[in-house]
Amino acid sequence: MPGFDLNALLEQARQVQEEMQKAQERLAGKTVTGSSGGGMVIVTANGKGEIQKVQIDKQAVDPRDVPMLEDLVLAAVNSAIKAAQEAAAAESPMAGLASGLGGMFPGIPK
């Protein structure tokens, strides 16, 4: 195939790997939160989606309605995980890879 440069492809792969490592390091340092019940339950996670902290307002604790508290915690955890996924997507170097490969392979947009 004319114009195909395997060394250039390998170099780009190495660069993408480095960028992914840097992105993972940035994500580990990010903090995101999710909440439910108007802020009665707040969950803090890191950018990798690992839950770091759960805060529950006293008003959310009703021993007669434990299922409601469980639902609030579940909703806040899911909200924090979604925020972590969005942060990860924003840090992803993969969009740059597709752009860089566009010049090497027809059909891949630049």
Partner residues linked to 43 by β-bridges = 34, 54
pLDDT computed for residue 75 by the predictor: 96
pLDDT tens column, 48-98: 888 999 999 999 999 999 999 999 999 999 999 999 888 888 877 664 554
pTM of the complete model: 0.66
Angle 79-85-86 (CA atoms, 0-180°, nearest 5)?
90
Q: What percent of the chain has pLDDT over 70?
A: 82
State the pLDDT at residue 22. 85
Residue 13 has pLDDT above 70, yes or no: yes
Q: Is the pLDDT higher at 30 or at 102? A: 30
Max CA pair span of the chain: 73
Instruction: Return d(Cα 75, Cα 29) in angstroms, integer.
Output: 23
